[in-house]
Amino acid sequence: MDTAVAGHVFDLQRFCTNDGPGVRTTFFLKGCPLRCAWCSNPESQIFRPQLMFHEQLCKGCGRCAAVCPSGAVRSDGPQLFFQREQCANCGACVAACAYDARVLAGRELTVDEGVQFARQDWHYYMHSNGGITCSGGEALAQPEFLRALFARMHDELGYHTCLDTTAHASWETLESALSVTDLILLDIKHMDSDRHKSMTGVGNTLILENAKALGKLHFPVLIRVPLIPRFNDTPDNVRQLGEFLEDCRFCDVELMPYHMFGSSKYTALGRHYANIQGKPDVHGTVAALKKFGLHVTVHGTS
């Protein structure tokens, strides 16, 4: 087992209470083949590190300008100008900033470091039936790292491991992680491949095929649906989803109603946020799915 294997991560979060059972430590892997319009972690999409600039925290002290090697921050009297196109995402300004206005999303993490980080909270996993979750981004986009990390957690330490995935990967890639995974949280965004592509950049064929294959294996799966208004909360899509899950013999569905918590991250990345208006039809979707005998929960009801 190669513990020197490293992966790209953008966050490690302790005391996660919503990514699998119990209290968990979640590893957010960076890089994703999808580009979901509603994505609340836009810094998770590309593999390389990215500078996030939270303008509202900036006090204009100019220390970032003093250390920037590529001239991306210039000070002109009391005014500061940040030119993102010149930024090399090197992170020199992050250390200089005293206000956390500048953050570098993304770093290398070795399996050893990951294990050491996770072990801090062994008490909590034990007392709450919790464990480790790999989320993203798309964890299956870094399969060697995922397998090596989970092998240590699952086989050596006996932790419960949970893979939070879009399932947009080859079956071979997904299958290779199964022996060290206890539970899969599988996102299904839309039943129609064209509609799926219009909002995520990819079709759904691979995802649905993988879901069916997991169903055949009776692998423990919790289906998660980010519920986006007027996109996938329509009666037609919900009915097709219900039928599909019934066919696959999945029992549990968790709905994650659309929220805008990630909007400030887009600004920080210098990106435009696709502001999706309105609220999804949670009640209608729950009622419709229940007709298929599914156990439906709603995540973070607001």
Partner 1 sequence: MLFDPVTQEACAESNRLDPKIQRARCVEAVARAKDSLLNSPQKVDTERLRCLLDVYREYDYEPVIVLRARVLERYINNRTLYIDDNPVVGTVTGSAAGVNVFPEWDSEWILKEMRQAMMSHLGKVNISEEERKLMVEAAKYFKNRSATAKARAYSKQLRGYDPAPAIQAGMFQDGTQFTVGAGNVDYETFVRRGLRSIIEETEARLHALDISAENTHKIDFYRAALISMNAVVKFANRYAELAERMAATEEDAVRKQELLDIAEVCRRVPEYPPRTFRESVQSWWFLHLGIQMEQAGCGSSPGRLGQYLDPYFQKDKAENGITCEDGIAWLKCLFVKILEFGYYQGLAYARLVSGHTGHTINIGGLKSDGTDATCELDYLLLDAQIDLRNIQPTLTLLYHDGLAEDFLFKAVELDRTGLGQPQWMNANIIIQRLLTRHSQVGITLEDARNCINMSCVGTGVAGKTCFIREIATFNLAKMVELVMTGGYDANTNTLVGADTGNPEQFASFEEFFGAFVEQTAHLFQTARFYGSCSNKALGDTVPSPFRSSMYDGCLQSGKHECEGGAKYYLYYSISTAGVDAANSLAAVKELVYGTGKVGMARLKAALAADFEGYEDVLELCLDAPKHGNGDPEMDSLVRRVYDCVMDKYHEVDTNFYGKHIANIEAYSLSIHNYFGMLTGALPCGRKKGKPLTDASVSAMPGTDKNGPLALVSSAARALDTVRYGSNHFNMKFHPSAVAGAAGARKLISLVKTYMDMGGSHIQFNIVSSETLSKAKATPEDYRALTVRVAGFSAYFTRLHGGVQDEIIARTELGL
Contacts to partner 1 by CB under 8 A: 13-15, 17, 21-23, 59, 61, 63, 98-100, 120-121, 123-124, 127-128, 130, 300-301
Q: How far is the CB of 118 from partner 1 (least distance, A)?
A: 11
In the complex, least distance from residue 295 CB atom to partner 1, rounded to whole angstroms: 14
Which residue, 13 or 70, is less far from partner 1 as judged by CB? 13
Nearer to partner 1, 71 or 300 (CB): 300
User: With b meaning 16 or more CB within 10 Å and e meaning fewer, what string describes 63-76?
Assistant: bbbeebeeebbeee
Q: How far is C-alpha 7 from the chain's CA centre?
A: 15
What is the residue whose two structure tokens read 């423990």?
220
Rounded Cα–Cα distance for residues 20 and 131 (Å): 8
| Closer residue to partner 1 in complex, CB, 100/243 | 100
Report the nearest approach of partner 1 to the CB of residue 300 (Å): 6
Eight-state DSSP code of residue 137: S
Q: Please, which residues have CB within 8 angstroms of residue 269's CB and are 6 or more apart in sequence?
A: 42, 43, 50, 52
C-beta of 92 vs 141, nearer to partner 1: 92
Is the Cβ of residue 61 or residue 208 nearer to partner 1 in the bound state?
61
Give me the count of residues in the chain: 302
Is the CB of 153 or the CB of 211 nearer to partner 1?
153
Cα 148–Cα 149–Cα 151 angle in degrees, nearest 5: 65
* 152 DSSP assignment: I
- Amino acid occupying residue 16: C
Q: How far is the CB of 199 from partner 1 (least distance, A)?
A: 26
Calculate the alpha carbon distances from 37 to 22, 40, 205, 287 in Å. Answer: 30, 9, 19, 26
What's the min distance (Å) between Cβ of 200 and partner 1?
26
CB of residue 2 to partner 1, shortest distance in Å: 29
How far apart CA 53 and CA 84 sit, in angstroms, is 10
Look up residue 92 and give its two tokens: 């020199």
Helices (H), the chain: 63-67, 92-96, 111-119, 122-128, 143-150, 171-178, 193-200, 205-216, 235-248, 263-268, 282-290
**Distance in Å, CB of 11 to partner 1, minimum:** 10
